Amino acid sequence: MNEIVRLALEEDIGAGDVTSRACVPSARMARGRFLARETLVLAGADLLREIYDARGGVQELTLLKRDGDQCRDGDAIATVQGGARTLLECERVALNFLQRLSGVATMARRFADAVAGTHCRVMDTRKTTPGLRALEKRAAAAGGVLNHRMGLFDAILIKNNHIAAAGGVRQAMENARSSGLPIEIEVRTREELRDALASGARHVLLDNLTPAEAAGWVRRIGGRAQVELSGGITLENVRAYAETGADFVSSGAITHSARAMDISFRLELA
């Protein structure tokens, strides 16, 4: 079982759902439906089985929509049948995951749609909810954006503080090359760009530029390296950045500013 699912259930249910135990007979059976209450892109549906399997008492779970599917207000996402107490005690955890992850997927789809028709692809960032990164990045991918590195361990991104600590762009690039990992480097000046390209950089990051400034940098680079733009990129301005000729734009808003989507759970006796 996904450890984060186990922790979420433990956090919410603890020693037991005292309300359901007090109100609902132990043998009572019920069925429930998860419903979209607004237009959204679904994510997290595959966690439902893990949630119910962890608690037992569920006879049947049917997924009517899959991660990445667009749902409209009133669409049924999934149905479940089993012990009423189990359905009640799992309700909030299931909704929390569905609402949060669908929010990320929906935001990701809006970003992807905003740059449609350009050469540019949108990427997510490490600005995720602590403990939920793998799930949120999976949701972002379901929404149609690219996953950037998962963490500090799977790709090298040399930023300004790394350059300062290493003793310069050339030294940072030389030190990093032996890792064998993909290398991206942030450049802030023409001198840093020249040094990065001379050191074999194939992927450069430009941070906190206006679209007009970014377009100038992209022309200067002239295809000698892939270009990623970051910093202050929002749903409102992402198209302007994408039209600069950059290969990628990255935005933390996909994860840190996604709102929970409106999804409900409706229970009735079986």
Catalytic residues: 92, 127, 159, 186, 207
* Residue at 214: amino acid letter: A
| CATH superfamily of the domain spanning 112-256 | Aldolase class I (3.20.20.70)
| CATH class belonging to 3-106+258-269 | alpha beta
- Tens digit of pLDDT at every position of the chain (270 positions): 589 999 999 999 999 999 999 999 999 999 999 999 999 999 999 999 999 999 987 999 999 999 999 999 999 999 999 999 999 999 999 999 999 999 999 999 999 999 999 999 999 999 999 999 999 999 999 999 999 999 999 999 999 999 999 999 999 999 999 999 999 999 999 999 999 999 999 999 999 999 999 999 999 999 999 999 999 999 999 999 999 999 999 999 999 999 999 999 999 998
Decide whether 3-106+258-269 matches 112-256 in CATH topology: no
Q: Where do the domains of the chain lie? A: 3-106+258-269, 112-256
